Chains A and B, each alone.
Chain A
Amino acid sequence: MRKLTDNLRAYAFLAAGLLCFGLFSWYPLVRGVLLSFQQVNFVTDPQWVGLDNFRVLFADPLFVTAWKNTLLFTGIALVFGYLLPFAIAILLNELRHFQAFFRIAVYLPVMLPPIVVVLLWQFFYDPGNGLFNAILSGLHLPESQWTQSPRTAMLSLVLVSTWANLGGATLIYLAGLGNIPGELYEAAELDGASVWQRIRHVTIPQMRFVLLVLLLLQVIATMQVFLEPYQLTGTSNPDTITVMVLIYRYAFTVNNDFGLAAAMSVLLFLVLGLFSALYLRLTRSAAD
């Protein structure tokens, strides 16, 4: 009897959490999968349509375009957003002055609301009177169309996103670099290793775990890119439409088809779930 009241009491404490997770996390997950096999119109009950949503998806030329663009974004973002912070962190770790200043500077853009960053860069990118073209023409360099040309649009989106986000990765790398025992570098130096060899044979192996975790986080985040294409190039631009923008378009603007959007979400979930599972496995086993 005592045990029963103890359990009841514990579940009373858990009730709010169970309700929130149940209603807004577990139930939507199940509903999302079911929805991908349904046709919804809000007037009559949802109808089961089997794989119809997926058939429509695969037949939509934007489907392939969106995946290609998303992979392109993720790929370019890996070069900028993943390798650049590592290089910056290695450099900052060697600088003995202004350490607090560098950390605050690099993290400042991360604190700004993302829409502020994107709208600010929209001013910078403006081909007519934006700051970037003003600087380029001041330096007598050819101007660019930035987000408005198919050739540079995707790169422009990655640049904004990198500026806004690289601070987080840089600080995480810096924390990791601070934990590398100094004796390793001393020993390598005694063996005659050059700076580059020390990075190659000490820094990178010591940072293996951090590098892997951030790789996964970066891929998971960039595959879900939405704000940059949504705000800078719009939801119907085939040069930059991404998977998330297409989901938004299916559900909320052009098609108003929640089944179709859910089918696309399920596919994205399957791809990202793989990376998420790997990330959780890595970090959990490291924590225990």
Chain B
Amino acid sequence: MTLTAPQRTPPAAVPVPARRKRPPKEFTGTRTLISASDLRRGWRRTAYWAVLAVVTILFVLVFFFPVYWMATGALKSPAELVSPTPTLFPRTFHPETYATAWSQMRVARYFANTALYALGGWAIQLAVAVTAAYALSTLRPVLGNVVLGAMLASLMLPAAALLVPAYLTVSHVPLIGVNLLNTPWALWLPGAANAFNVYILKRFFDQIPSDLIDSASLDGAGPLRTLWSVVLPLARPVLGVVSIFAVIGMWKDFLWPLLVLQDPDTQTLSVALSRLSATSQVPQNVMMAGLVIASVPMIAIFLIFQRSIISGLSAGAMKG
């Protein structure tokens, strides 16, 4: 599979000579359910603008307003936040609430934990998936297909099925006999057993012309050198998409960290927020600030990488 955006007909951007009544260029794109010419005239034109306005307002209210409420809620005074007549704009501003959450609710600690887990998990996931996919795609050892099949079979396992036995395994790893509970490894190692990554990377490596790899080895490059200087540079876009989804996945994960990180000092932001919400010691506005801080990295990633995320999602779900 390729993780590029699905093929779309480019919108007709032919320059039209300036005439007074030229149709807006939005109405000349790809044909969909309702034809563009229908939308250009008469009552349908009015209806279109009405629907567009309603949908826009609804989307702002439904999808943006809760996030706005959260970010401004943290700025309000505790009394204003729970007042029976909610206010759209904070009457008084308390930006120090964010500082309180950061230091007194120890969000700083949990934030650092989560960042460490996400970045370490990303590096390990990538290292494991790249080496495995490269071995299966290019080096092709005996029984390689059996290994690939067994890895892909794990995609069929719902996370739920492994929860209890995986917890027991992490608490006492066979062969090595160590207890990984409350260490980053409890997230990193199970996270690296990600068949989806191996599958995506292998499919991409399969498309690299074998001439390129052969000529590298004729030049005396060993497999590691070929992987590093020939394969990986070509795979940069795929690696990017896999990386983004790996970091998002680690940041959003809840149930597994809840089980394996029960020591409060080691907890992720998500697990800590859930635990703190159950105690009544945290004021609502401080909690709200904690929620905002937990969201900021994800929203930043989304705004920076939205194209890769949206196209990767569409391609991945259908062909994964």
A114-B252, A175-B314, A213-B317 known; A265 vs B164 contact (CB < 8 Å): yes
- Give chain A nearest CB distance to B102 CB in angstroms: 16
Q: CB distance B32 to A177 under 8 Å?
A: yes
Within 8 A of A (CB), among B261-311: 269-271, 273-274, 277, 284, 287-288, 291, 294-295, 298-299, 301-302, 306, 309-311
Task: Tell me, yes or no, whether B66 is within 8 Å of chain A by CB.
Answer: yes
**How far does the alpha carbon of A28 sit from the alpha carbon of B31 in the complex, in Å?**
51
**How far does the alpha carbon of A40 sit from the alpha carbon of B164 in the complex, in Å?**
12
Task: Tell me, yes or no, whether B228 is within 8 Å of chain A by CB.
Answer: no
A23-B189, A129-B83, A268-B160 known; A109 vs B155 contact (CB < 8 Å): no
**How far does the alpha carbon of A251 sit from the alpha carbon of B274 in the complex, in Å?**
19
Task: Tell me, yes or no, whether B238 is within 8 Å of chain A by CB.
Answer: no
Task: Tell me, yes or no, whether B254 is within 8 Å of chain A by CB.
Answer: yes
Name A's interface SS.
helix
A119-B287, A210-B318 known; A182 vs B131 contact (CB < 8 Å): no
- Give chain B nearest CB distance to A261 CB in angstroms: 5
For A29, the chain B residues whose CB sits under 8 A away are 154, 157, 161-162, 165
Write out, one digit per residue, whether chain A residues 216-238 have a CB within 8 A of any chain B CB (1) or not (0).
Answer: 01001001101100010000000
Q: CB distance B306 to A104 under 8 Å?
A: yes
For A121, the chain B residues whose CB sits under 8 A away are 66
Task: Tell me, yes or no, whether A64 is within 8 Å of chain B by CB.
Answer: no
Q: CB distance A269 to B161 under 8 Å?
A: yes
Write out, one digit per residue, whether chain B residues 142-171 have a CB within 8 A of any chain A CB (1) or not (0).
Answer: 101001001110111111111111111110
Q: Which of B33, B84, B132, B306 contacts A90 (CB 8 A)?
A: B33
**How far does the alpha carbon of A168 sit from the alpha carbon of B320 in the complex, in Å?**
15
Q: CB distance A14 to B132 under 8 Å?
A: yes
Write out, one digit per residue, whether chain A residues 181-225 have a CB within 8 A of any chain B CB (1) or not (0).
Answer: 011011001000001001100110000001001100100100110
Q: Specify the chain B residue showing the minimal Cβ separation from A17.
A: B132
A13-B139, A112-B67 known; A251 vs B277 contact (CB < 8 Å): no
Q: CB distance A272 to B160 under 8 Å?
A: yes
Q: CB distance A272 to B51 under 8 Å?
A: no
Q: CB distance B169 to A23 under 8 Å?
A: yes
- Give chain B nearest CB distance to A191 CB in angstroms: 14
Name B's interface SS.
helix
Task: Tell me, yes or no, whether A123 is within 8 Å of chain B by CB.
Answer: yes
Q: Specify the chain A residue showing the minimal Cβ separation from B140.
A: A10
Task: Pick the interface stretch among B13-21, B57-65, B91-99.
Answer: B57-65
Task: Tell me, yes or no, whether A6 is within 8 Å of chain B by CB.
Answer: yes
Q: CB distance B132 to A198 under 8 Å?
A: no
Within 8 A of B (CB), among A232-282: 243-244, 247-248, 251-252, 258, 261-262, 265-266, 268-269, 272-273, 276-277, 280
- Give chain A nearest CB distance to B299 CB in angstroms: 6
For B259, the chain A residues whose CB sits under 8 A away are 252
**How far does the alpha carbon of A32 sit from the alpha carbon of B163 in the complex, in Å?**
9
Q: CB distance B295 to A16 under 8 Å?
A: no
A95-B51, A129-B82, A269-B158 known; A108 vs B302 contact (CB < 8 Å): yes
Q: CB distance B277 to A280 under 8 Å?
A: no
For B27, the chain A residues whose CB sits under 8 A away are 96
- Give chain B nearest CB distance to A274 CB in angstroms: 10
**How far does the alpha carbon of A92 sit from the alpha carbon of B55 in the complex, in Å?**
9
Task: Tell me, yes or no, whether B246 is within 8 Å of chain A by CB.
Answer: no
For B223, the chain A residues whose CB sits under 8 A away are 9, 13
Task: Tell me, yes or no, whether B209 is within 8 Å of chain A by CB.
Answer: no
**How far does the alpha carbon of A202 sit from the alpha carbon of B214 in the complex, in Å?**
48
Q: CB distance B132 to A13 under 8 Å?
A: yes
Task: Tell me, yes or no, whether B237 is within 8 Å of chain A by CB.
Answer: no
Q: CB distance B128 to A258 under 8 Å?
A: no
Task: Tell me, yes or no, whether A79 is within 8 Å of chain B by CB.
Answer: no
Q: CB distance A105 to B59 under 8 Å?
A: yes
Q: CB distance B161 to A268 under 8 Å?
A: yes
Q: CB distance B29 to A96 under 8 Å?
A: yes
Q: CB distance A115 to B270 under 8 Å?
A: yes
Q: CB distance A97 to B52 under 8 Å?
A: yes
Q: CB distance A7 to B157 under 8 Å?
A: no
For A20, the chain B residues whose CB sits under 8 A away are 128, 189-190, 192-193
Within 8 A of B (CB), among A72-116: 90-98, 101-109, 111-116
Best-surrounded residue of B52, B82, B134, B168 (most CB of chain A within 10 A): B168
Task: Tell me, yes or no, whether A58 is within 8 Å of chain B by CB.
Answer: no
**How far does the alpha carbon of A201 sit from the alpha carbon of B279 in the complex, in Å?**
55
Within 8 A of B (CB), among A5-62: 6-7, 9-11, 13-14, 16-18, 20-21, 23-29, 31-32, 35, 40
Q: CB distance A35 to B193 under 8 Å?
A: no
Q: CB distance B190 to A231 under 8 Å?
A: no
Q: List the 10 closest A-B pairs by CB distance, nearest first.
A: A182-B31, A17-B132, A10-B141, A175-B314, A269-B161, A10-B139, A13-B135, A96-B26, A32-B165, A28-B165
New A-B pairs, 17, CB < 8 Å, besides A23-B173, A106-B59 = A9-B223, A23-B169, A94-B34, A108-B67, A113-B270, A115-B254, A123-B284, A172-B317, A178-B6, A182-B32, A185-B35, A213-B317, A214-B317, A227-B255, A248-B255, A268-B158, A268-B161
Enumerate chain A interface residues (CB-CB to B < 8 A). 6-7, 9-11, 13-14, 16-18, 20-21, 23-29, 31-32, 35, 40, 90-98, 101-109, 111-116, 119-124, 129, 131, 134-135, 137-138, 163, 168, 171-172, 174-180, 182-183, 185-186, 189, 195, 198-199, 202-203, 210, 213-214, 217, 220, 223-224, 226-227, 231, 243-244, 247-248, 251-252, 258, 261-262, 265-266, 268-269, 272-273, 276-277, 280, 283, 286-287
